[in-house]
Chain A
Amino acid sequence: MLSYIIKKSITLLFSLFFVITVTFVLMQAMPGDPFSHLDNIPAEVVQALHAHYGLDKPLFQQYVTYLYKILQFDFGFSLVYQGRSINQIILEGFPTTFLLGMQSLLLSLSLGGLTGAAFSLRKKNNSFFLVFTSLWFSMPMLVIASLLQYLFAMKLHLLPVARFDSFFHTILPTITLSLFPSAFIAKLFKASLDEVTKTEHVRFAKAKGLSAKQIFFKHLLKNACLPVIAYLGPLTIYLLTGSFIVEKIFAIPGLGMWMVLSIIARDYSVIMGLTVFFSMILLTINFLVDIAYLFLDPKIQNYVIKQPI
């Protein structure tokens, strides 16, 4: 078992390393000089700036410095907002984005899980369910965000329009972010439940006279939630990239908004820094999912737990 965890950890580190390298390479490929937007500056000042940021050193040395800094969680400085370190940006923005992300995660899992389970236990035809969920994931987030904002905030004045000051402020953004994943999880979970219900051992459990509740929790759930847990990785990606849109529209000061602003302003170092950061989060989540699988998936258990270490 230990060797499995070690193997996964090595993969994690290696991927991180790869991401940092790629980011660095891309950053070098960005057109133009980072300071080209500052006009009317004498050449010596530009040179001094270059020296200050270490941009005049040989490429490889820059790379090593960059690597070293990142491993110390120092992401560097923003090019557009002078003096603002990316670390600062992350520290300011991450809690907000994290909060929003967690809320959306919880909402998606519970809404999706409950809906999927409810529809799986019904005996009647489930075409309504399929159509309904498909509808929800046909709408682009842009549209949902704008519509919700328009309807509930501006027209009906039920909820605040923007910013992130109170719990009520979080409601609309969370709902926007959760619609697609809820529908997806509902569909996934229901399909998985249907499949597990048909297996021999669940049918035998029924023949033994166990109550529906018992069967559900002890036999069905454990096996059926595997695909949902596997989906947590893509879900994180979705929440991260979705935050760009949601935070922009609802003016929430989180990492997403920073990312959008950086893209528009072509602030390359922030774009890269945030990219590396996002990748780190993603890789960590994937790692955790793999570990969770170790405890939940019987096939992996059989294969791994029986190993000597």
Chain B
Amino acid sequence: MSLNNLFEPASFSLKEYLVTNKEIKRSIFYKNRYLQIGLGIFFIIFVLSIFAPWLSPYSYKEIHLDQRNLPPCKEFIFGTDDLGRDIFTRVFWGARISFAVAFLSAFFDLLIGVVYGSIAAYSKRYVDEILMRFCDLLNAIPSLLIVILFVVLIGPGFLAIVTAISFTGWVMMARIIRAEVFKLKEANFVLASKTMGASFFTIFFQHIIPNVRFVAIATLMYSIPSAIFTEATLSFLGLGIQAPMASWGVMISDSISALRFYPWRLLFPSVILTLTTFSLNMIGEGLKKHE
């Protein structure tokens, strides 16, 4: 290349020298350890609970009076309880019940909370005040007490428990959703939509709801474990799911007095419960990180 050529005009594109915004896998699983672990563990337990009736040759209420309080062995993987029932089957039946209670309550929490919170966020100032005052009032009595009172009133049973838990659980969701909707209402992209003539419903369902998804699910990851614990506490107080149905709360309460002699009766339900709530927490963390 002669000297003259070097100084000739030339144009150039900097493309290969620029840092690119590589197309990272859009999947939320990518490198999100929390989500991976959380969903993994939860999925395993969930699947096992669905197949609970077929997991072992025994049913959850099958009594073997001659084989009471056996430690884990070949026939009974998790051992037996004081009526000779197979703990393994009961743990996963318990999972079904606890999941049913927790998910149903959480679902109602979500529904009521989102509706209530959105209405509050969109109403006039004084209406919002009144709505929030009502929430505060509901919070004045510890929720566990309300649940207890409810169940004492109506009598224990699946439906009563779900209703009772939903009755107090929606407040937290409503508060959080309201805060989120407040923020989003004023966001620039909502304003932009409005100026282009979008109707209220379009804005609400297309812009606001998708954006509260993350917060809502993260809060759910808190309400579901809370519901599971509440159910356990109710069982401890004798107000929970009634025998012979198995739920984790029932199994744990019954095994406490026998802890000294038959620790496996406490161990297995507790471990599975802890793993479940832990995995839900991990999912919540993972979602927060993704956000």
Contacts and interface: CB of A to CB of B under 8 A. Distances in A.
Contact of B260 (A130, A131, A139, A150): A150
A282 B149 contact: no
A176 B276 CA distance: 20
Contacts of A85: none
Given A140-B229, A140-B232, A263-B237, A271 B140 contact: no
A146 interface: yes
| Residues of A in contact with B, size category | 35 or more
Contacts of B140: 15-16, 18-19, 279, 282-283
Given A134-B285, A263-B237, A146 B153 contact: no
A241 B142 contact: yes
Contact of A31 (B153, B225, B275, B285): B153
Contacts of B275: 138
Nearest to B228: A140
A264 B278 contact: no
Interface of B, secondary structure class, is helix
Contact of B141 (A127, A141, A244, A275): A275
A149 B266 CA distance: 13
A264 B259 contact: no
A143 B249 CA distance: 10
A15 to B, nearest CB: 5
Interface string A132-147: 0011011111110011
Interface in A257-283: 260, 263-264, 266, 271, 275, 278-279, 282-283
B56 interface: no
Given A127-B33, A138-B225, A263-B237, A249 B256 contact: yes
A11 B153 contact: no
Interface residues of B, number: 42
Contacts of A18: 137, 140
B163 interface: no
Interface of B: 33-34, 133, 136-137, 140-145, 148-149, 152-153, 225, 228-229, 232-233, 236-239, 249, 252-253, 256, 259-260, 263, 266, 270, 273-278, 281-282, 285
Nearest first, the 8 A-B pairs at minimum CB distance are A138-B277, A138-B278, A241-B144, A134-B281, A143-B270, A15-B140, A237-B142, A146-B256
26 contacts: A16-B140, A22-B141, A30-B152, A30-B153, A134-B281, A135-B278, A138-B225, A140-B274, A141-B229, A142-B232, A142-B236, A142-B253, A143-B270, A146-B259, A150-B263, A240-B142, A241-B142, A244-B144, A244-B233, A245-B233, A249-B256, A263-B152, A264-B238, A275-B141, A279-B142, A282-B141
Interface of A: 11, 15-16, 18-19, 22, 26, 29-31, 127, 130-131, 134-135, 137-143, 146-147, 149-150, 154, 237, 240-241, 244-245, 248-249, 260, 263-264, 266, 271, 275, 278-279, 282-283
